[in-house]
Structure 1
Amino acid sequence: MPGERVCSEPGCLEPGEFRAPADGPRGGFDGPGEWRFLCLDHVRAFNQRYNFFTGMTADEIAAQQRPYAGWERETRAFSTGGADRPPSWADFVDPLDAIQARFRATRPAERQDGRGLSGDERKALKVLGLEVDADRRALRQRYSELVRRYHPDRNGGDRSHESALQAVIEAYQTLRSAAAFA
């Protein structure tokens, strides 16, 4: 057929369907180098005698045979706490609860009134032992209860609970200025 490649072995008139590296300089940064096209019989013979390491020094061969060749570069970690990052819920509708069910256990509880809480506000609620849906009144009651429990004046001067008292005060300061408790 006109325009069809012929095997590049001298004297062979079979179609050159299979490419093989050309004899001569090896490829480099710009690519693998030159190719020649061979018929099935000649490409089999070529593969039997081909040696990737021909023309390399002992150091170059050792560099190619290292088990981690090409993996020296450090990369950024993509850890998300052991699970895939949940998708943005606003991007799709999940009527069968097929996707959301997987991430429900890892998603923090939401308030019934729809007011969002930051991570620090959630930690402060834990310190005070309050639920996510607590209101301002419950916040003040729990704060005054914990202050009475941990304050040295109420414990005969015992200062062993001072760190717990400080944590309660910091948690209250964080929550009282939060939008969810306004």
Structure 2
Amino acid sequence: MASRSQKFHGRVEGVDDPCGIAGCREPGEFRAPVTPGDFDGPGQWRYLCLDHVRAHNSSYNYFNGMSPDEIQEAQSPIAAWERTSRPFAHVGDPPPAWSDFHDPLDAIATRFRPGARASSAGPDRFTPGERKALKLLQLGDDADRLTLRKRYSELVRRYHPDRNGGDRSHERALGAVIEAYTLLKSSRAFA
């Protein structure tokens, strides 16, 4: 049964060759590059014992030969941000431009219902019940979701009893406004 963890990470088991350092008789169980910092390809390797691979690793300096400005640039947390990246591929139509919308939720809804923007203009945009609700809210056929929300909040503030000193005479109008808004906000025209 194999052990669950190895004591030394990187150890190459079953090596019969001695350490690559002249005069050392320990087995060369750890792989080390011949020229540190030159990893432009497969590279050349030599096998060292534990003590010599530790000495090799402690002498390695990534910044060796760099100017102070190059070192600062390499250590910068935003070192790779200026690199360009490829855009993700998309399937089908490209997504809508965010600048075409006043409300981000409208843009998201349009992305997942591509036909919604195309059908937003035209005489059959609203059903008769939706037209009646628009008339109640005093909105035209060209109203968008943002206009609908603004008008709804204006009318709720106007008719709510808390805003009228407890006067309940506008409760029926408030109920009609809420019902009209509920119908219109789930309409295909405002999707």
Which TM bucket (shorter chain)? 0.3 to 0.5
TM-score when scaled to structure 1? 0.40
TM-score when scaled to structure 2? 0.38
